[in-house]
């Protein structure tokens, strides 16, 4: 006889929720991010910087990784993480103005 009774259905539900939260935090799932999430990813930079340096980047525009819907920017989560990893060294370029920030 067991001293603990575990509701397997409830335990599986909690496990799935926890795994999903962890994967979302890592950017591995969750199809769409809003600007609030991008601000967390780009610590120290504001919304204007993200728009000028990321949203206006030619690669992001060409592949529609960031799109403005009704005045709010949305991002394809997995693709924007890949973009930041791939283009990190050149994110100092303000693509809206064509200016390099030192």
Residue 73 contacts residue 46 (beta carbons within 8 Å): no
Higher pLDDT, 73 or 6: 73
Higher pLDDT, 73 or 96: 73
Note whether residue 46 is domain-resident: yes
Note whether residue 15 is domain-resident: no
Structural domains of the chain, count: 1
Average pLDDT, the chain: 84
pTM of the model: 0.65
Q: Which residues contact 100 (CB under 8 A, 6 or more apart)?
A: 92, 93, 94
Containing domain of residue 85, as a range?
Answer: 31-96
Higher pLDDT, 55 or 97: 55
Res 102 pLDDT > 50: no
Q: For residue 28, what pLDDT band results from cuts at 50, 70 and 90?
A: low
């Amino acid at each position: 006889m067991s001293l603990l009774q575990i509701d397997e259905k409830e335990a599986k539900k909690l496990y799935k929720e926890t795994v999903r939260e962890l994967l979302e935090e890592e950017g591995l799932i969750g199809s769409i991010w809003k600007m609030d999430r991008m601000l967390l990813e780009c610590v120290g930079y504001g919304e204007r910087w993200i728009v000028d340096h990321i949203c206006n980047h030619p690669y992001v525009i060409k592949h529609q990784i960031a799109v403005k819907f009704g005045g709010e920017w949305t991002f394809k989560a997995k693709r924007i993480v890949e973009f930041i990893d791939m283009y990190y060294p050149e994110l100092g370029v303000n693509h809206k103005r064509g200016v390099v920030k030192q």
